[in-house]
Amino acid sequence: MLGKIATIAAVAAGGMILSKQLRKSRESGKTTIEESIEVNVPVSATYNQWTQFEDFPKFMKDVCEVRQLDDTHLHWRAEIAGKEEEWDAEITEQIPDQRIAWRSTSGAEHTGVVTFHKISDSTTRIMVQIDYSPKGFMEGLGDALEAVKMQVRGDLQRFKEFLETRGSETGGWRGSVAQH
């Protein structure tokens, strides 16, 4: 009997937390995710690999395809909340070995920045910040359950493994992009 009461209490507490998260997300309309990871590769190799956007499906779990249209425009195809979505993004700022910032130009509204920090000659800290607006019930539910945060964390871990296993980048783009 005591076990059943504990289970009911745990389910009720979980429901209250989920309800609070859903309400918070609906009120603000935006969610911010911040994640970081250290990669045992020099900053230039880490940055160079991140500029290889068409390789993202190799380590980003739900990304099916990224096509680089030109130096600042990308077309994405991914599975989100069990449904295939497509959108375009524009790189708004790019400083070699330091940062890449972007914003969506179609699809769900989101912006983000990834920064690269030299820890030592052979270690880099990658920091990612993404601001997005969940749309629809399923994305709102996923947001409340922190599914996107867990996805970003997993993608960073897979990026680390991808790059450290290779020992070098697959290519790189060293150009700069400045916000208009």
- pLDDT of the residue at 70: 95
Local confidence pLDDT in tens for the 180 residues of the chain: 655 565 555 555 455 444 444 454 445 578 899 999 999 999 999 999 999 999 999 999 999 999 999 999 999 999 987 889 999 999 999 999 999 999 999 988 899 999 999 999 999 999 999 998 877 665 666 666 677 889 999 999 999 999 999 888 888 877 788 875
Residue 177 lies in a domain: no
> How far lies 115's CA from each of 19, 94, 101, in Å?
33, 10, 9
Residue 173 lies in a domain: no
Residue 134 lies in a domain: yes
Give me the CATH number covering residue 51: 3.30.530.20
Residue 17 lies in a domain: no
- Structural domains in the chain (count): 1
Distance from C-alpha of 134 to C-alpha of 143, rounded to nearest angstrom: 7
Residue 109 lies in a domain: yes
* Model pTM score: 0.79
* Residue 63: domain span: 30-166
The angle, 0 to 180 degrees and rounded to 10, between the axes of the packed helices 2-28 and 136-144 is 120
Residue 42 lies in a domain: yes
